[in-house]
Amino acid sequence: MKPTVSKPAAEILVVNKAAGWSESALAKLRQTNASLSSLAVSVQSVTSNELQSRMDKSSIHNNVNLCIVVFPGDIPESAVQIAKQHTQTDFEFVGTSPAQGSSNNIAQVVPNDLIPAYIAGWLAASVNPPKAAHLIGMLTNGRQSLSKPEIEALFGGIYSADPTAVLKPDTKFTSSGTNLTGNSSTSSGAPKLGVPSVSVEVSPISANNATVLQAAHAVVFSAVSATGPVVLQPGPPYPKAVLGDLESVVSKQWKPGVRTVDSSPALVLAGSALPKGTKQALAQLNPSNVTSKYVTTAWKAIPKNIQKKWLAQVGL
C-alpha cells in the first residue's frame, strides 16, 4: 500500500461577512479552477471577537500552510501582530487598505484606491437627485484623507458621468458634530435642506455627523471605508484576487508583502436605501472594466480649466 501524502492546506477566515466573500463565491472559485484540486481549502465565517482564537487555531492545531483573513474594511494592525506570533504559518490579509508592519510570513492584498474613488464620483453624478441641479457635496471631517491622485480619480468619475455637475467642497462639520457648516438649523436642531442632495465622503466622518445627513435625506457615496449610513462604499478585493496566492501554496512560491489589485473591489451597497438610478448607473459603468489606466484617462479628459478649478476648491 502506498503511503498517504497529505495535501498542502489553506484556510480562509471571512470576518464579519466581508462583502463579496460568500460561501457560494468561494465554492465557485474552487470549482472553476482545477489548479486548486491539489490544495485542501477550508472556509470559516468569524466575528472580530473570534478572530485571534481562530488564527491561533489555524496555525497551532490545523497546521495550515496559508491562512487568508478577509476583512470588510481596513486591515487592522492587531491582526498583523497576531500573525507575527505564528511564524510557522503564512498569513495573507485582504481588506480595503493595508496595516502598518511587515514580516516574512505576512502578505496584504488591497484594492487600487483610485478605482473606488472613481466609482463613487461616477455614481454621485449619475443618480437622480430630488433637485434638478447636480450639486455634489464633498464631505470631510476637517481633513483630506484621499491623496491627490484619488481626488483626481473621484473628479474623473464625476465629470465622466455629468460634465455639468457643480461641486460644493466646503461641506464640513462643526466641532460639536451637530450641524453642517453653512447650514442653519430649525429650533428642534434638525438641519434645513441646505445640505446637498448627493454627497461624496472623502474622509471618514462620525456617526453623529452621518445622522445629521440622514435627517436631511442626503444621499452619501463613500470613497473610503465608512461607519455611517452611506449608500455605497468600497469593500475588499474579490476572491479571484487571491487565486494566484492559493496556487502558490502548492508550488511553494508564496511571497510576503503588500499587493495592490488593479480591478474593482467588492462594492458595499445599502439595499433599500439606494437612490433611484444607482443600480442602472452601476450596470452602465460595469465596474469590472474600471482599471487604473481607465481612471487616469478619465481625469486627463477633463478640460484643464475645470481640473484647476476643482482641485483649487479642495485645496490642491
* Residue 4 in domain: no
pLDDT at 189 over 70: no
- Mapped onto helix, strand or coil, the DSSP state of residue 133 is coil
161 and 199 in a single domain? The answer is yes
221 and 92 in a single domain? The answer is no
Measured torsion, CA atoms of residues 47, 53, 54, 56, in degrees rounded to the nearest 10: 150
- Mapped onto helix, strand or coil, the DSSP state of residue 211 is helix
pLDDT of 24-58, one tens digit each? 888 888 888 888 888 988 899 999 999 999 999 88
33 and 140 in a single domain? The answer is no
Are β-strands 166-168 and 135-139 bridged in parallel, bridged antiparallel, or unpaired? parallel
Per the listing, cell 474552487 goes with: 30
pLDDT value of position 178: 40
CATH number at residue 282: 3.40.50
The residues pairing with 221 across neighbouring beta strands, listed in sequence order, are: 200, 232
pLDDT at 116 over 70: yes
* pTM of structure: 0.83
pLDDT at 1 over 50: no
Number of separate domains in the chain = 2
Averaged pLDDT score across all residues of the chain: 82
* Terminal Cα distance for the chain, rounded: 71
Return d(Cα 168, Cα 221) in angstroms, integer: 15
The residues pairing with 9 across neighbouring beta strands, listed in sequence order, are: 40
Which range of residues forms the domain containing residue 195?
114-231+270-313
- Mean pLDDT, to the nearest integer, of 209-221? 75
195 and 292 in a single domain? The answer is yes
69 and 133 in a single domain? The answer is no
Q: Supply the angle between the helices 114-124 and 148-161 in degrees, to the nearest 10.
A: 30
pLDDT of 280-313, one tens digit each? 888 888 888 888 999 999 999 999 999 999 998 8
